[in-house]
Amino acid sequence: MYAYDEIDRTLVNERVLEFRDQVKRRLSGELTEDEFKILRLQNGVYLQLHAYMFRVAIPYGTLASNQLRQLAHVARKYDRGYGHFTTRQNIQFNWIKLAELPDALADLAEVGIHAMQTSGNNMRNVTSDQWAGVAPGEIEDPRIWSELIRQHTTLHPEFSFLPRKFKIAITASDHDRAAIKIHDIGLRLIKNEKGETGFEVLVGGGLGRTPFIAKTIKHFVHGRDILSYIEAILRVYNQYGRRDNIYKARIKILVHELGIEKFSREVEDEWQHIQNSSLQIDDEVIEDIRSRFTYPSYEKLPHSPDELRQAAADPDFEAWRKNSVAPHKVQGYSIVTISLKPIGAPPGDATAEQMDALADLADKYSFGEIRVGHEQNLALPHVAKRDLPALWKALDKLGLATPNVNLITDIIACPGLDYCSLANARSIPIAQELTRRFANHELANLIGRLHINISGCINACGHHHVGHIGILGVEKNGEEVYQITIGGRADENAALGNLIGPGVKFDEVADVVEDIVEAYLALRERPEELFMDTVKRLGVEPFKERVYATR
């Protein structure tokens, strides 16, 4: 956990006061809605279909138990008793009243939480691996760097009014859980031959109307230079990114139009001027940030404790353990993923009661720490293996032990037409129906790893392009129509999915997905061949045939 110091606290409190003034001026009419819109977006406040939506930052997905309790408090006091975890490790509240927002922010500031730059055309919340600091084989904890970048990008005096939003993600593991290749800047933490920390820098990834996988702009940028290098990229983008068309304003379009070589030359030219400036970070600065991250004092525990062996007789426990428990870098500990995808419910939602109870469980079993992943699930990052059976029982009581992590019912979905004013089609009911179709755990397990991602419009908040099965809702002649892609993925081998054919109607979507899955089960060479590998081997054609043969 990163602990705020007086400086961080002061800044967050000053931001609350500024926002309070902005809301006051809006309510008094001193600010027009047009003016206020930009200001509220700088602080995570959208106007949705029914009410204001409030997005709160959870930088790099790390939460302390007292912070989670405060999120529960906000859900209860200012909203309707629940929150929605997003694909960028944030949380959204859907029913906030404008006049109460400054108070909600002030409550959050008490525990070091803010909503700065969770929307708007600025540098968004820095995201990272939800297993940072605990994943076996990780090079080093990417959150140190995430925090450094979080600070540097917060209220940046030059880059708070960019052509469009700007997202940075960092990973330090071979397996990319942070989806860095679909970010404006993706950073892969690596070591050079001298053992020094640096980053492979990728640029220009993004989904939306014109999806691109990020390209490598530089193979190694030394850690001490990472802020100046990012600043150089942003300066080029701020000046030359398109502002005439909102759909062409992301950096991916600039990179695409200039070509990566020319773009990287521009960045290099700019970087020459600022590399050896006060943006250079020395080891002491890094150490200072590192020193404010606390790590648990792990006990020396057995690899296979008695409690775990005894519980193995319970098939329900075993199903959950095999699905939701992952290896930890320290012997005797595990990383536990908590599915926020119960059958028949909207993906990513948690009630205030669940949040409070989880905070208690984190205190009891995970050194008071909780993580949020971009798949819209939570994790307890430091659970002693001997505690797994007790934790499972407690989670099960809360409805938080659905053993479907990474399975077909672990669906990523945006809020869609049920909440969002941009949406053309519903997302949540599609997700709900699909979880009912595949509710049988044996069936889901037989299918194996399969990610379904659903977006209710072309803006792609549900990351449909990179779903193994991607579902995009559009509007055609006043009707919801869904386009279906297969073969996308968001990890280190990121790829965009391919369309299988013409769009289908709302009530056909689940049938089509069932057809695709049946085709896969028939086509795979062996049970271990995952859906995405079968699609890679055979292409779209056999799936298309199956789906459209009878339609």
Partner 1 sequence: MPLVNGGKIAEDSFVKLAVDTPLPASGDILVPAERFVGEAEALLKRAGKVGVIWPNNRDIDEFVPYLGKVAAVALVFPTFRDGRAYSQARLLRERYNYRGELRATGQILRDQFVFMLRAGFDSFEVKKQADAEAFMQTAKRYSVFYQPTGDGRITALHRRMQLRHSEGVGT
The residues that touch partner 1, with contacts defined as CB under 8 A, are 5, 7-8, 10-11, 14, 17-18, 22, 30-31, 35, 38-39, 121, 151-152, 154-162, 235, 238-239, 243, 273, 277-279, 281, 284-285, 288
Q: Dmax over Cα atoms in the chain, in whole Å?
A: 67
Tokens, residue 11: 């800044």
- Nearest approach in angstroms of CB 19 to partner 1 is 10
Q: How far is the C-alpha of 122 from the C-alpha of 245, rounded, in Å?
A: 17
CB of 271 to partner 1, least distance (A): 13
Looking at beta carbons only, is 120 or 487 nearer to partner 1? 120
Q: Which of 483, 427, 487, 423 is nearest to 451 (CA)?
A: 487
User: What are the b/e assignments for 280-306, b being 16+ CB within 10 Å?
Assistant: ebeeeebeebbeeeeebeeeeeeeebe
Minimum separation from the CB atom of position 288 to partner 1 (A)? 5
HSE-up of 248 (CA within 13 Å, CB side)? 8
| Shortest CB 223 distance to partner 1, Å | 14
User: With respect to partner 1, which residue has the nearer C-beta, 223 or 403?
Assistant: 223
Which residue, 152 or 329, has its beta carbon nearer to partner 1? 152
Among residues 153 and 435, whose Cβ is nearest to partner 1?
A: 153
**Distance, C-alpha 501 to centroid of its chain:** 29
Q: What does the alpha-carbon distance between residue 304 and residue 295 come to, in Å, rounded to a whole number?
A: 23
Q: How far is the CB of 22 from partner 1 (least distance, A)?
A: 7
Q: Which is nearer to partner 1, 1 or 41 (CB)?
A: 41
DSSP line for 271-322: HHHHTTSTT---HHHHHHHHHTB---------SS-HHHHHHTT-HHHHHHHH
CB of 168 to partner 1, least distance (A): 15
246 to 162, 163, 255, 264, 467: CA distances (angstroms):
11, 8, 16, 23, 25
- Which CB atom, from 116 or from 454, has the smaller least distance to partner 1? 116
Measured CA angle at 223 (ends 191, 271), to 5 deg: 125
List residues bridging with 188 in a β-sheet: 171, 200
Evaluate whether 409 touches 376 at the Cβ level (below 8 Å): no
Residue 25 vs 364, nearer CB to partner 1: 25
- What's the closest the beta carbon of residue 147 comes to partner 1, in angstroms? 11
| Cβ closest to partner 1, residue 34 vs residue 442 | 34
Q: φ and ψ at 92, to 5 degrees?
A: -120, 145
CB of 132 to partner 1, least distance (A): 21
